[in-house]
């Protein structure tokens, strides 16, 4: 009963319609109205980016990525929690080591980020099974429904993950402010399921508002069923206007305007997943995806979205993509890298997209009236129809936000106009100029610290009160005109410290006119206000600024590659910052008591500038050479192919029934999942007494896209075939392919031994499990492994072998059932002295699996961050595929037409940066080849000093 009361109470407290802003506030209360979320009554614009801890299996690097989010002006991180990642079998859950989500949530909190917790149960995310563990394929009941079987399974997960999330909610002093139920569940209509997920969450102590992310349009859980069972408090919409066609990065919104709709009148407009990268469906490479979703796209689409519907809740997918290590990938759309063309690369490097997030994110944090706006009439760009405006204003402060963009959003020309702007403090005619595929959000009627900003046609990046004056960073496109008008009681003193800025004063208005060029500096004092330092730069100059909060107020830093945090104590300003090989100037705007500067462990000699800042130069990081990879040794495996191999301890595959919705074509049922082998390669051995009349072996195997299988008879290799895939249409109406992944192998004369035991051996790849986007069991529960087998009519008795248990550190997705994996050839400790030396690129390969191993030592400087990758030179042959193991961790797959990837991230943590490392490659060849992968080398993605 107490529990029930608690839950009811929690629901009352969090229901925004019941708790009006201004009501009694307890610590960490999340409320909302039609404008925005409020935390303890304080409005916030939610600026979140998505991060998948399961795609970065190095917990200490979570901090690095999350600090980078924070430094870009994000105030929140959206986290999917992957059920599959934690549960290798029913009832078995692991939340330790790389799965320590408690640590993840603590880290987010320490980085100063709120959290949107998204535990599914279904998450999609191009992850195997869409995050549903493969064992769920074997439970009765439609997945993503309220049907028995599935229901017990998902409740088991929720009761494990919810308590962890619950104890990190804001009310408990933690970072979690929202809980997202399910994922794009709009095409499915099982309200009982949607409701039950929420009921379970409430029962488990979740008291923050519950959200859901709808796909594509608003007609769903969000609106149509807004009040019925299953309805959530704050539905949001996923929007990917730029598509996933990375091969064509010049596309411009092929999937629409990308404007997040208002779904209800009582909740903020929530862009639950807004495109910030793309999956590389066409194998174009992620740099192209980064281009497709680059700064131009961000400028136009994000700002357009911001002003058109007044959205104040954003979550960008992805902020950092990471790696599909092990067997994490869903096979149909992705390969090892899940870089996603995100603002932060897989190797944790910052890109120009990061700069754009920073410009926009800082603005959203600094100019707080944007959290509450209504549409208002926009000042027309009347003298040039090529440009269009739209506007919103804060009803309390009157602050206006005017969007200036091209009328034809696809325009590529630069266009200028004069805005005749009836701003709250008076009418002004000011110039605006917009280059093609760009948009500006400009502000009028704003109390900028101790100043009154009448208007500016430069965009505001940030402003801060530092040492009794205001410092503001404004920016605009290089070469474009800008005008800023500030209001004063009497004429102020204007000193142009840098750049060309003209000023006029009339009737209380100080007007500055200039062209955006480099970084102009204008000091304004007197006029009845505290001093103002205006820093007016180009986009590029603005991006060099960092803002960090200290106990003695904010500081601004120009220069360094990244400022993670700052503090001021005594006469010293300290920065925790990254300094790249470019090094260069660093300039710090800090309270005046700071006369010295320390970056990490380095004292930086500084002088005081006319701007009142401290100026010095940074020292670049030292070199970080990487060793050549030599001393490779090789060993052939696949003993399973030999007739004499002892398979007596393998699992007997003799089942005649299955819970799979796919009826077996031949018996026994050979589906790997039915025998508990869910990930990676699986071996089959079939024993049969031959009549001698058999002529062919007819097989069907389903592997998921890019999978294959290899077949031996009595130790003789017969060849390979491509594995079956999800029906191309991928919809629930297309019946399953009746002949998936067929392979017909003629039996060579003289190979069969009539009347005695003959052995067929088959090695089948399992490239991962289909997602379940439309909650279609035929798709999600598509089997893996052999799905039919016949050798004439001769009876066969089968055994199957997949992974030998679950790696206690690396988890159930790390390994499949290769011989070398079952016997530890991938592990550092495996003795390989007896293996013969061989160069992988030049040594001939025979069909089956050959392993290569080598070790190398690293001694990377402790105060530097040098992300390391493994590079395969030359072109991969489609005839072999390579599983790459670093110190036992399965870090990726190369070759075999699996994807365009030739460089693989070796994340620190898995990689011993100061110590010994072992690389092991399992190379599966489909045919005899003169050589294998290579040349193989280590390389550095970057090099920054971090201490
Ligand atoms: C949206 C999913 O919610 C997310 O998990 C991920 O799969 C993303 O797409 C694509 O990377 S689904 C949307 C594109 C319809």
pLDDT tens profile 519-551? 999 999 999 999 999 999 999 999 999 999 999
Quick one: pLDDT at residue 9? 33
Give me ligand 1 centre to Cα 893, in Å: 23
Our answer on whether the CB atom of 240 is closer than 6 Å to any ligand 1 atom is yes
37 half-sphere exposure, CB direction, 13 A CA radius = 29
> Which atom belonging to ligand 1 lies closest to the Cα atom of 213?
3
Quick one: pLDDT at residue 220? 60
Say if residues 307 and 401 touch (Cβ distance below 8 Å): yes
Q: Judge whether residue 755 has pLDDT over 70.
A: yes
Say if residues 796 and 688 touch (Cβ distance below 8 Å): yes
> Average pLDDT in the 892-908 region?
96
Q: Judge whether residue 17 has pLDDT over 60.
A: no
Q: Judge whether residue 730 has pLDDT over 70.
A: no
> Average pLDDT in the 588-601 region?
97
8 half-sphere exposure, CB direction, 13 A CA radius = 5
Long-range pairs of 106-112 with CB within 8 A, sequence gap ≥ 24: 106/168, 107/59, 107/62, 107/63, 107/66, 108/66, 108/77, 108/79, 108/175, 109/168, 109/174, 109/175, 110/63, 111/63, 111/66, 111/67, 111/69, 111/70, 111/77, 112/70, 112/75
Secondary structure letter of residue 621 according to DSSP? P
Separation between Cα atoms, residue 599 and residue 578, nearest integer Å: 9
Which pair of tokens denotes residue 911? Answer: 């990689």
Our answer on whether the CB atom of 35 is closer than 6 Å to any ligand 1 atom is no
Which one is predicted more confidently, 191 or 457? 457
Which pair of tokens denotes residue 407? Answer: 């009328």
Grade residue 509 by pLDDT with cuts at 50, 70 and 90: very high
Which residues participate in catalysis according to the annotation? Answer: 184, 273
Give me ligand 1 centre to Cα 125, in Å: 6
Q: Judge whether residue 224 has pLDDT over 80.
A: no
Say if residues 592 and 901 touch (Cβ distance below 8 Å): no
Our answer on whether the CB atom of 239 is closer than 6 Å to any ligand 1 atom is no
Grade residue 79 by pLDDT with cuts at 50, 70 and 90: very high
Grade residue 28 by pLDDT with cuts at 50, 70 and 90: confident
681 half-sphere exposure, CB direction, 13 A CA radius = 25
pLDDT tens profile 338-347? 999 999 999 9
Our answer on whether the CB atom of 682 is closer than 6 Å to any ligand 1 atom is no
Which residues have C-beta within 8 Å of that of residue 749, sequence separation ≥ 6?
Answer: none
Separation between Cα atoms, residue 926 and residue 610, nearest integer Å: 70
Separation between Cα atoms, residue 732 and residue 188, nearest integer Å: 12
> Which atom belonging to ligand 1 lies closest to the Cα atom of 773?
12
DSSP-derived 3-state class of residue 893? strand
Q: What percentage of the chain carries pLDDT values higher than 90?
A: 91
Separation between Cα atoms, residue 400 and residue 364, nearest integer Å: 14
Which one is predicted more confidently, 583 or 128? 128
Give me ligand 1 centre to Cα 164, in Å: 25
Quick one: pLDDT at residue 623? 96
> Average pLDDT in the 45-52 region?
98
Torsion 772-256-457-307 (CA) sign: negative
Give me ligand 1 centre to Cα 240, in Å: 8
Quick one: pLDDT at residue 583? 79
Our answer on whether the CB atom of 289 is closer than 6 Å to any ligand 1 atom is no
pLDDT tens profile 89-145? 999 999 999 999 999 999 999 999 999 999 999 999 999 999 999 999 999 999 999
Quick one: pLDDT at residue 223? 52
> Average pLDDT in the 500-517 region?
98
> Which atom belonging to ligand 1 lies closest to the Cα atom of 340?
11
Residue 103, phi then psi, degrees to nearest 5? -65, -40
Give me ligand 1 centre to Cα 473, in Å: 35
> Which atom belonging to ligand 1 lies closest to the Cα atom of 124?
5
Please identify which residue in the block is written with the tokens 């961790």. 889
Residue having the nearest C-alpha atom to atom 14 of ligand 1: 240
Grade residue 19 by pLDDT with cuts at 50, 70 and 90: very low
848 half-sphere exposure, CB direction, 13 A CA radius = 20
Quick one: pLDDT at residue 24? 35
Our answer on whether the CB atom of 565 is closer than 6 Å to any ligand 1 atom is no
The per-residue pLDDT of the chain, averaged, comes to 94
Torsion 173-174-178-182 (CA) sign: negative
Which pair of tokens denotes residue 918? Answer: 């072992």
Quick one: pLDDT at residue 218? 53
Grade residue 221 by pLDDT with cuts at 50, 70 and 90: low
Our answer on whether the CB atom of 101 is closer than 6 Å to any ligand 1 atom is no
Residue having the nearest C-alpha atom to atom 12 of ligand 1: 215
Give me ligand 1 centre to Cα 273, in Å: 8
Quick one: pLDDT at residue 737? 85
The pairing of strands 37-39 and 30-32 is antiparallel
Which pair of tokens denotes residue 928? Answer: 């005899």
Q: What string of DSSP letters covers 528-581?
A: TEEEEEEEEEEHHHHHTEEEEEETTEEEEEEESSEEEEEEEETTEEEEEEEEET
Say if residues 575 and 563 touch (Cβ distance below 8 Å): yes
Say if residues 465 and 451 touch (Cβ distance below 8 Å): no
> Average pLDDT in the 160-172 region?
98
> Which atom belonging to ligand 1 lies closest to the Cα atom of 318?
11
pLDDT tens profile 674-694? 999 999 999 999 999 999 999
> Which atom belonging to ligand 1 lies closest to the Cα atom of 125?
5
Which one is predicted more confidently, 224 or 747? 747
Say if residues 790 and 667 touch (Cβ distance below 8 Å): no
Our answer on whether the CB atom of 124 is closer than 6 Å to any ligand 1 atom is yes
Q: What string of DSSP letters covers 716-741?
A: EEEEEEEPB-S-TT-STTSPPPSS-S
Say if residues 788 and 666 touch (Cβ distance below 8 Å): yes
Which pair of tokens denotes residue 216? Answer: 């594509």
Which among 592, 464, 461, 607 is positioned nearest to 532, based on CA atoms?
A: 464
Radius of gyration of the chain (CA): 30
Quick one: pLDDT at residue 439? 98
Give me ligand 1 centre to Cα 732, in Å: 18
Quick one: pLDDT at residue 189? 75
Q: Which of 78, 240, 335, 341 to mutate to test the pocket of ligand 1 (most atoms within 8 A of CB)?
A: 240
Separation between Cα atoms, residue 451 and residue 442, nearest integer Å: 17
Grade residue 876 by pLDDT with cuts at 50, 70 and 90: confident
> Average pLDDT in the 570-584 region?
95
Say if residues 105 and 115 touch (Cβ distance below 8 Å): yes
Secondary structure letter of residue 138 according to DSSP? G
Quick one: pLDDT at residue 4? 34
Q: Judge whether residue 652 has pLDDT over 60.
A: yes
Separation between Cα atoms, residue 765 and residue 762, nearest integer Å: 10
Grade residue 514 by pLDDT with cuts at 50, 70 and 90: very high
Q: What string of DSSP letters covers 797-846?
A: EEEEE--SS-BTTTBTTS----HHHHTTTTSTT---TTSEE--TTTS-B-
> Average pLDDT in the 879-897 region?
97
Give me ligand 1 centre to Cα 274, in Å: 10
Quick one: pLDDT at residue 794? 98
In angstroms, what CA-CA distances link 863 with 65, 622, 913, 943? 17, 10, 11, 10
Separation between Cα atoms, residue 230 and residue 165, nearest integer Å: 21
Residue having the nearest C-alpha atom to atom 8 of ligand 1: 125
Our answer on whether the CB atom of 238 is closer than 6 Å to any ligand 1 atom is yes
Quick one: pLDDT at residue 417? 97
Our answer on whether the CB atom of 184 is closer than 6 Å to any ligand 1 atom is yes
Our answer on whether the CB atom of 273 is closer than 6 Å to any ligand 1 atom is yes
pLDDT tens profile 853-864? 999 999 999 999
Which among 256, 351, 246 is positioned nearest to 304, based on CA atoms?
A: 256
Please identify which residue in the block is written with the tokens 């999937």. 255
pLDDT tens profile 595-642? 999 999 999 999 999 999 999 999 999 999 999 999 999 999 999 999
Q: What string of DSSP letters covers 744-792?
A: EEEPPTT---TTSEEEEEEEE--------TT--HHHHT---EEEEEEST
Say if residues 28 and 39 touch (Cβ distance below 8 Å): yes
Our answer on whether the CB atom of 182 is closer than 6 Å to any ligand 1 atom is no
> Which atom belonging to ligand 1 lies closest to the Cα atom of 215?
15
Residue having the nearest C-alpha atom to atom 7 of ligand 1: 125
Q: Judge whether residue 216 has pLDDT over 90.
A: no
Which among 588, 523, 583 is positioned nearest to 556, based on CA atoms?
A: 588
Residue having the nearest C-alpha atom to atom 6 of ligand 1: 125
Say if residues 269 and 309 touch (Cβ distance below 8 Å): yes
Grade residue 8 by pLDDT with cuts at 50, 70 and 90: very low
> Which atom belonging to ligand 1 lies closest to the Cα atom of 277?
11
Q: Judge whether residue 25 has pLDDT over 50.
A: no
Our answer on whether the CB atom of 65 is closer than 6 Å to any ligand 1 atom is no
Our answer on whether the CB atom of 126 is closer than 6 Å to any ligand 1 atom is yes
Our answer on whether the CB atom of 338 is closer than 6 Å to any ligand 1 atom is no
918 half-sphere exposure, CB direction, 13 A CA radius = 18
Give me ligand 1 centre to Cα 135, in Å: 23
Give me ligand 1 centre to Cα 49, in Å: 14
Quick one: pLDDT at residue 6? 36
Give me ligand 1 centre to Cα 331, in Å: 15
Say if residues 903 and 939 touch (Cβ distance below 8 Å): yes
Residue 229, phi then psi, degrees to nearest 5? -60, 140
């Amino acid at each position: 009963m107490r529990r029930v009361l608690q839950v009811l109470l929690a629901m009352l407290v969090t229901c925004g319609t019941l708790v009006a802003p201004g009501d009694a506030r307890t610590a960490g209360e999340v409320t909302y109205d039609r404008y925005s979320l409020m935390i303890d009554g304080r409005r916030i614009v939610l600026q979140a980016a998505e991060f998948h801890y399961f795609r970065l299996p190095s917990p200490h690097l979570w901090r690095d990525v999350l600090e980078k989010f924070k430094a870009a002006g994000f105030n929140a991180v959206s986290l999917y929690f992957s059920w599959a990642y934690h549960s290798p079998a029913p009832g078995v859950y692991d939340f330790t080591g790389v799965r320590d989500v408690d640590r993840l949530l603590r880290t987010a909190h320490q980085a100063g980020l709120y959290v949107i917790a998204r535990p599914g149960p279904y998450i999609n995310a191009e992850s195997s099974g869409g995050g549903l563990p493969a064992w769920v394929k074997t439970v009765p009941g439609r997945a993503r429904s309220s049907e028995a079987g599935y229901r017990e399974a998902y409740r088991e997960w929720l009761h494990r993950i919810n308590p962890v999330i619950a104890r990190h909610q804001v009310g408990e002093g933690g970072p979690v402010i929202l809980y997202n139920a399910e994922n794009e569940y709009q095409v499915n209509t099982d309200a009982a399921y949607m409701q039950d997920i929420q009921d379970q969450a409430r029962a488990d102590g979740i008291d923050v508002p519950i959200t859901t992310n709808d796909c594509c349009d608003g007609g769903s859980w969000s609106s149509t069923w807004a009040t019925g069972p299953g309805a959530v408090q704050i539905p949001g919409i996923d929007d990917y206007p730029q598509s996933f066609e990375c091969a064509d990065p010049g596309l411009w919104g092929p999937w629409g305007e990308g404007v997040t709709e208002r779904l209800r009148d009582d909740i903020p407009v929530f862009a639950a997943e807004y495109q910030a990268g793309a999956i590389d469906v066409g194998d174009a490479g992620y740099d192209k995806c980064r281009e497709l979703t680059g700064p131009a796209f961000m400028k136009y689409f994000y700002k357009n979205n911001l002003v058109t519907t007044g959205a104040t809740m954003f979550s960008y997918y992805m902020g950092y993509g990471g790696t599909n290590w092990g067997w994490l990938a869903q096979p149909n759309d992705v390969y090892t890298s899940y870089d996603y063309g995100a603002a932060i690369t897989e190797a944790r490097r910052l890109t120009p997209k990061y700069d754009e997030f920073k410009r926009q994110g800082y603005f959203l944090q600094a100019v707080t009236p944007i959290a509450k706006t209504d549409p208002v009439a926009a000042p027309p760009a009347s003298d040039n129809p090529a440009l269009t405006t739209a506007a919103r204003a804060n009803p309390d402060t009157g602050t206006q936000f005017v969007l200036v963009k091209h009328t034809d959003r696809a325009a590529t020309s630069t266009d200028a106009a004069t805005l005749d702007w009836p701003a709250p403090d008076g009418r002004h005619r000011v110039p605006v100029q917009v280059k093609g595929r760009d948009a500006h959000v400009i502000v009028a009627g704003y109390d900028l610290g101790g100043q009154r900003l009448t208007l500016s046609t430069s965009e505001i990046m940030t402003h801060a009160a530092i040492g009794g004056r205001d410092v503001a960073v404004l920016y605009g496109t290089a070469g474009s005109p800008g005008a800023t008008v500030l209001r004063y009681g009497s004429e102020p003193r204007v000193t142009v410290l840098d750049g060309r800025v003209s000023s006029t004063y009339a009737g209380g208005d100080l007007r500055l006119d200039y062209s955006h060029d480099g970084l102009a500096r204008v000091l304004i004092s007197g006029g009845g206000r505290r001093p103002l330092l205006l820093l007016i730069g180009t986009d590029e100059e603005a991006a060099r600024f960092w803002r960090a909060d200290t106990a003695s107020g904010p500081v601004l830093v120009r220069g360094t590659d990244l400022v993670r945090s700052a503090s001021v104590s005594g006469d010293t300003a300290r920065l925790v910052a990254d300094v790249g090989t470019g090094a260069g100037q660093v300039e710090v705007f800090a309270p005046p008591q700071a006369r010295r500067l320390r970056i990490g462990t380095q004292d930086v000699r500084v002088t005081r500038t006319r701007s009142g800042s401290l100026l010095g130069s940074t020292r670049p990081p030292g070199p970080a050479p990487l060793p050549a990879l030599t001393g490779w040794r090789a060993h052939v495996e696949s003993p399973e192919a030999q007739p004499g191999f002892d398979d007596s301890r393998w699992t007997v595959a003799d089942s005649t029934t299955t819970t799979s919705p796919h009826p077996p074509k031949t018996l026994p049922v050979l589906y790997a999942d039915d025998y508990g082998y869910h990930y990676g390669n699986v071996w089959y051995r079939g024993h049969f007494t031959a009549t001698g009349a058999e002529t062919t072996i007819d097989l069907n195997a389903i592997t998921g896209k890019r999978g294959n299988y290899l077949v031996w008879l009595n130790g003789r290799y017969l060849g390979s075939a491509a594995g079956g895939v999800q029906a191309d249409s991928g919809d629930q109406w297309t019946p399953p392919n009746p002949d998936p992944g067929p392979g017909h192998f003629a039996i060579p004369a003289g190979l069969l031994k009539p009347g005695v035991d003959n052995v067929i051996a088959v090695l089948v790849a399992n490239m991962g499990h289909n997602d379940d986007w439309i909650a279609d069991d035929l798709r999600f529960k598509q089997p893996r492994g052999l799905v039919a087998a016949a050798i004439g009519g001769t009876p066969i008795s089968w055994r199957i072998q997949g992974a030998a248990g679950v790696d206690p550190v690396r988890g159930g997705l790390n390994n499949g059932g290769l011989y070398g994996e079952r016997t530890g050839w991938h592990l550092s400790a495996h003795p390989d002295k007896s293996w013969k030396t061989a160069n992988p690129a030049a040594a001939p390969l025979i069909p089956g699996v050959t392993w290569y191993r080598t070790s190398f030592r690293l001694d990377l400087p402790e105060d530097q961050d040098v992300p390391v990758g493994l590079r395969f030179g030359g072109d991969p042959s489609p005839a072999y595929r390579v599983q790459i193991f670093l110190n036992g961790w399965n870090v990726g797959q190369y070759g075999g037409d699996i994807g365009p990837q030739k460089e693989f991230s070796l994340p620190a943590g898995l990689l011993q940066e100061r110590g010994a490392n072992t690389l092991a490659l399992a190379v599966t060849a489909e045919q005899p080849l003169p050589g294998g992968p290579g040349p193989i080398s280590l390389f550095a993605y970057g090099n920054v000093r971090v201490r």
